[in-house]
Amino acid sequence: MKINRRLFMGGAAAGAAATTLAAPMVHAAGHGKPKVVVVGGGAGGATAARYIAKDSKGEIEVTLVEPSRSYYTCFFSNLYMAGFRELGSIAHSYGKLASDYGINVVHDWAIGIDREARTVSLAGGATLNYDRLVLSPGIDFVDGAVDGWDVTHQNAMPHAYKAGSQSELLKAQVEAMPEGGTFAMVAPPNPFRCPPGPYERISMIAHILKEKNPTAKIIIADPKEKFSKMGLFQDGWSRHYDGMIDWIGGDFGGGNVSVNPHDMTVTIDGEVTKVDVCNVIPAMKAGKICDMAGITEGNWAPVNPHTMQSRVDENIHVLGDASSQGDMPKSGFAANSQAKVAAMAVRSALTGSKLFPAKFTNTCWSLINDNDGVKVGASYEATDEKIAKVDGFISQVGEDAELRQATYEESVGWYAGITSDMFG
């Protein structure tokens, strides 16, 4: 066994101390347990860290690297904008992962990966050794994707596609819109995080506007000709928000867009519109750390569907939005599902535990209006080439109000379920 360098703190006692890690303390560990480093404490990473720690029963040392002390779920952040959830109810801390599962939680950024040496370097200066590395860094935006916009404009024109302060900002801007004002959204091209997400957001914003500012207008410039649950959303929009929402799809120039954050204008297919709020959701790519690790092809990191191992480096597993895996949408449910397959594969590789065939599932619920919930979902299995869809279902137009309410209530149950599956 070679000498590894690792963070001084480990084991169950590390929790409280790790969260206040000020200066990195590094020491030479002798021989010891196999080490897993997980980068990113979101839907994929938190789940993977928890399952590896829980199921290896102390045989594997798990370190979770995540800069934020509170994780705000993107899921239900749209409901927060409509006032159906409090912001605090979508925030989660890493305390239990440290105290109950013995995970070494390090609040820092991973800024470099040396695949040869199997180390991760952190912005704070520390270096972590790994036997297996799990990357679940979510998404970043493609530079120059929307003409006139870059992240320096995210205050004037928020994306709110990473939850937290951006969600608060967008909500505040919508609430401050002048009477009869205009809200614009620039929707992203495929593939992107949460295919129904922009359209659920439109629904939720229409919901508040209808209450507080019923003469306001919503415009969506969309490069796509179709979107997830389109029939269900359009039916809902005409039932609840008739005449308020104008969706301009790719076939009508919706992809030919530029924005000007200084004078708050949006130009769609040559036509300039002055707007009051502009939600720009640019094209996406895997979180930057994947690029730094050199495991991306194009914008995403391809993986082996049986284990979620990178196609480029078998010591690295990539989960969730950052991976390109085949048929699964980029969702929290999917990231959570993939994390369990990866956790099993990591344990099997490091401790020889049983490896069962990979199975995946996804269900995405969306809320269209008060108690008007819909869902779409599918089950998947691993083939050598990709994660392949096996079977699926989708809510139907014309379902009665009771079923829609039950579907919404189910989503609330799911939220409680998945967040306790992630954070313990």
Partner 1 sequence: MNWIRNAAIGLTVAICASTPSFSNEIGNAADGEKLWGECKSCHAIGKDAKNRVGPHLNGIFGRRAGSEEGFNYSKGLARMGKDGLIWEFDLLDRYIENPKAFASDTRMSYRGLKDEQKRADLLAFLRRYSDNPGDIPEAAPTVAGTDHDVDPSILAIQGDPEYGEYLSSECTSCHQLTGDNDGIPGIIGWPAEDFVIAMHAYKDKYRPHPVMQMMAGRLSNDEIAALAAYFEAVEP
Measured from the CB atom, is 112 or 253 closer to ligand FAD?
112
Q: Does 403 bind partner 1 (CB under 8 A)?
A: yes
CB of 234 to ligand FAD, least distance (A): 19
Residue 158 to residue 259: CA distance in whole angstroms: 12
- Using DSSP's 3-state secondary structure scheme, residue 250 falls into helix
The binder of 413, among ligand FAD, partner 1, none, by C-beta within 5 to 8 A per type, is partner 1
Which residues does residue 365 pair with via DSSP β-bridges, in sequence order?
375
Q: Does 27 bind partner 1 (CB under 8 A)?
A: no
Window 152 to 211, contacts with ligand FAD (CB under 6 A): 161, 193-194, 197, 201
The binder of 289, among partner 1, ligand FAD, none, by C-beta within 5 to 8 A per type, is ligand FAD
Measured from the CB atom, is 307 or 411 closer to partner 1?
411
CB of 360 to ligand FAD, least distance (A): 13
Window 39 to 68, contacts with partner 1 (CB under 8 A): 51
Window 305 to 364, contacts with partner 1 (CB under 8 A): 333, 336-337, 340, 344, 354, 356, 359, 361, 363
Name the residue among 32, 35, 55, 36 with its Cα closest to residue 45. Answer: 36
Residues belonging to the chain: 424
CB 307 within 8 A of CB 387: no
Binding-site member from 222, 321, 327, 372 for ligand FAD (CB under 6 A):
321
- Cβ-closest position to ligand FAD: 42
Binding-site member from 15, 34, 41, 305 for ligand FAD (CB under 6 A):
41
CB of 44 to partner 1, least distance (A): 12
DSSP H stretches of helix in 213-331: 230-240, 288-293
Q: How far apart are the first and last CA of the chain?
A: 33
- Using DSSP's 3-state secondary structure scheme, residue 78 falls into helix
Greatest CA separation found in the chain? 70
> Tokens 């929307």 label which residue?
146
DSSP H stretches of helix in 21-68: 43-56
Neighbours of 141 (CB within 10 A): 22
Residue 275 to residue 180: CA distance in whole angstroms: 11
Kind of pairing between the strands at 245-248 and 359-369: unpaired
DSSP H stretches of helix in 82-137: 95-99
CB of 352 to ligand FAD, least distance (A): 27
Q: Does 300 bind ligand FAD (CB under 6 A)?
A: no
Q: Does 327 bind ligand FAD (CB under 6 A)?
A: no
CB of 344 to partner 1, least distance (A): 6
Binding mask 59-78 for ligand FAD (x = CB under 6 A): ------xxxx--x--xx-xx
Measured from the CB atom, is 260 or 324 closer to ligand FAD?
324
Window 101 to 120, contacts with ligand FAD (CB under 6 A): 109-110
Is residue 310 classed exposed, middle or buried when 0-12, 13-18 and 19+ CB atoms within 10 A define those classes?
A: buried
Name the residue among 186, 206, 205, 202 with its Cα closest to residue 281. Answer: 186
CB of 335 to ligand FAD, least distance (A): 4
Which residues does residue 70 pair with via DSSP β-bridges, in sequence order?
93
Residue 339 to residue 49: CA distance in whole angstroms: 9
Could you say which DSSP state residue 33 is in? S
CB of 391 to partner 1, least distance (A): 5
Residues binding ligand FAD (CB under 6 A): 39-45, 65-68, 71, 74-75, 77-78, 109-110, 136-138, 161, 193-194, 197, 201, 287, 289, 319-322, 330-333, 335, 364-365
Residues binding partner 1 (CB under 8 A): 51, 333, 336-337, 340, 344, 354, 356, 359, 361, 363, 375, 377-379, 390-393, 400, 402-403, 405-406, 409-414, 416-418, 420-421
